[in-house]
């Protein structure tokens, strides 16, 4: 099995979310006593502890009685493991434990097993939602956590639930098989450059109100690079909790003979790459992209990397 055929890195989980338990305070109190707990540190962008030197890395989950004092959040119930042990997450400074190190989800998400990837992704998405929704959008009043972390409520009883923002991401290609087949990648204007390297990725954008995901593909590609696409096909989705998106992945055809016209407010550079070039870059070889810069591709945790592999391997 090639990398392009593997599951999307952050779309894996073995956890039963057990949503019916979220409004059962007696069960939750008993569950907390025997729980495994993931500690996330919002002060370090939601990093968690993994065992140092492990291959693959493993999350460090603590017993509820082993937690650091005075966590920043109430326990957030994530679900129940196959062995019937409940799992919670809390926001707190990370404890100093021998043989561990702090890691970000973007760094280790693709390396974690299914169980750990699901726990880390769900916990970080939930934490980021709480950090951004401390006040009611309807009344402006301060909200407090309810339903074991799965809603917030204001003093008048108004309730808000976690939201996820849908976004599309598309691998635009020419439909040509073999090493001379080409894909179109862009370098976002907001990305900070690294000396000697320029990152290119698939085109992406948020789905607007009243718009389908496929319509967003047509609009975003037209706005960002001035091209019309056709034969839009869905490839898969995965959460992207930075801070709270669901990335809907697509592939679509475009004509390389048509002129690329970038919107400089969105895209600094865009160009077509052959399979030969992308394969070389993934193999660690230098691929020039102009002005002395080397091609840099998106990280393995991203759905963009999944789409690149899918196109590279001919699964279009």
pLDDT tens digit string along 239-275?
A: 999 999 999 999 999 999 999 999 999 999 999 999 9
How much of the chain exceeds pLDDT 90, in percent? 91
Q: Where in the chain is the domain with CATH 3.90.79.10?
A: 165-312
Residues 133-139 have a mean pLDDT of 93
| Exposed/middle/buried for residue 17 (C-beta within 10 Å: 0-12, 13-18, 19+) | middle
Q: What is the pLDDT of residue 316?
A: 62
Residue 185: strand pairing partners:
271
Q: Which of 3-7, 230-234, 282-286, 312-316 has the lowest mean pLDDT?
A: 3-7
| Res. 151: pLDDT tops 60 | yes
What pLDDT, on the 0 to 100 scale, is given for residue 193?
67
3-state secondary structure (DSSP) of residue 233: strand
Residue 54 has pLDDT above 80, yes or no: no
CATH superfamily of 165-312: Nucleoside Triphosphate Pyrophosphohydrolase (3.90.79.10)
Segment 135-151 shows an average pLDDT of 96
Per-chain mean pLDDT for the chain: 95
Secondary structure E strands in the chain: 36-40, 48-51, 61-63, 76-80, 86-91, 100-103, 144-146, 151-153, 159-160, 165-173, 182-188, 197-199, 203-206, 230-240, 245-253, 267-274, 294-296
pLDDT of 33-53, one tens digit each?
999 999 999 999 999 999 988
The pLDDT of 187-204, averaged and rounded, is 89
Reply yes or no on whether the pLDDT at 192 is more than 80.
Answer: no
| b (16+ CB within 10 A) / e for 40-69 | bbbeeebbbbbbeebeebbbbbbebeebee
Contact by Cβ (8 Å): 304, 161: no
Question: Once rounded to an integer, what is the mean pLDDT over residues 148-153?
Answer: 98
pLDDT at 3 exceeding the cut of 50 = no
């Amino acid at each position: 099995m090639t990398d392009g055929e593997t599951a999307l890195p952050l779309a894996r989980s073995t956890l039963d979310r057990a949503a019916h338990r979220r409004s059962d305070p007696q069960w939750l109190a008993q569950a907390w006593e025997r729980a495994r707990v993931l500690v996330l540190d919002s002060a370090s962008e939601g990093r968690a502890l993994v065992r140092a030197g492990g291959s693959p890395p493993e999350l460090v989950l603590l017993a509820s009685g082993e937690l650091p004092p005075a966590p920043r959040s109430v326990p957030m119930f994530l679900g129940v493991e196959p062995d019937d042990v409940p799992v919670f997450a809390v926001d707190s400074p990370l404890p100093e434990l021998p043989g561990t190190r702090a890691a970000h989800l973007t760094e280790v998400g693709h390396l974690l097993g299914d169980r750990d990837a699901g726990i880390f992704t769900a916990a970080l998405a939930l934490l980021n939602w709480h950090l951004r929704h401390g006040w009611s959008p309807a009344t402006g009043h301060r909200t407090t956590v309810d339903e074991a972390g799965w809603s917030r409520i204001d003093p008048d009883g108004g309730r808000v639930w976690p939201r996820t923002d849908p976004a599309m991401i598309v691998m635009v290609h020419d439909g040509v098989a073999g090493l001379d087949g080409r894909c179109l990648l862009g370098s976002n204007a907001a990305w900070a450059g690294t000396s000697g390297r320029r990152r290119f990725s698939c085109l992406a954008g948020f789905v607007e109100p009243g718009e389908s995901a496929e319509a967003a593909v047509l609009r975003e590609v037209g706005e960002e690079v001035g091209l019309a696409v056709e034969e839009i096909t869905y490839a898969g989705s995965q959460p992207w909790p930075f801070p709270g998106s669901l990335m809907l992945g697509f592939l679509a055809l475009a004509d390389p003979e048509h002129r690329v016209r970038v919107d400089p407010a969105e895209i600094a550079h865009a160009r077509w790459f052959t399979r030969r070039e992308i394969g070389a870059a993934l193999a660690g070889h230098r691929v020039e992209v102009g002005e002395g810069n080397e091609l840099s591709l998106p990280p393995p945790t991203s759905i963009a990397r999944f789409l690149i592999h899918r196109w590279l391997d001919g699964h279009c």
